[in-house]
Amino acid sequence: MPTNETERDSVNEDDRTRALRESIRRSFPAEPYKGRVTHHDGEFPDHFDEDTAILDEEKELFDALRGKAWTAVPTEIFQHQPSGYGLLTDEAFTAFLPAWLMRSLENMDAENEVRNLVVYSFQTMRQFRVLNPEQQLTVRSLLVEFAERGTSKFAANLAKEAVALIDRRRY
């Protein structure tokens, strides 16, 4: 049992993070994804150079995600492509976004590049529209949490702006 306010806050934050993780699990089914992963599936050249760098990133995503559920996304993908979800088709975005959301909840009291990029990505709301209402609510809840517990003022302000766009239905 927590004995002081700092310990109580820590327990509450852990409870909040657990609740957000459970919301992600409920909102996004963990089923193997069979559709197109990127817009260039099957169009990858045999040789990559500076001109095909985006295709190289898409091929890495294709190889890592094809036929997998979001719960099976390799951890290396977050290191190599912390914003890789932006290169996915809308269907693949919906299928794999929860992996990035889960990763963004790690180390809530420390810097997290995936979290910062997730917050930043919801400034345009383009892909927010492809989510169903329950998934949108889950993303909104995460953004509220990041606004309250953001590791930087910049990320926290971006999260607040994204929530305001959602609340005004500007997506």
* pLDDT at residue 88 greater than cutoff 80: yes
The long-range contacts involving 140-147, CB below 8 angstroms and separated by at least 24 positions, are: 140/166, 141/20, 141/23, 142/20, 142/24, 142/101, 142/104, 142/105, 142/118, 143/119, 145/16, 145/17, 145/20, 146/104, 146/115, 146/118, 146/119
Question: Contact 99/82 with Cβ under 8 angstroms?
Answer: no
How confident is the model over 110-162, as pLDDT tens digits? 889 999 999 998 887 788 999 999 999 999 999 999 999 867 889 999 999 99
Query: What's the pLDDT at 7?
Result: 46
Angle between helices 90-104 and 5-27 (to 10 degrees): 160
Task: Look at 48 and 169; give whichever has higher pLDDT.
Answer: 169
pTM score: 0.83
Query: What's the pLDDT at 97?
Result: 97
What is the separation of C-alpha 75 from the centre of its chain, rounded to a whole number of angstroms? Answer: 13
How confident is the model over 51-67, as pLDDT tens digits? 555 577 888 899 999 99
β-pair partners for 88:
38
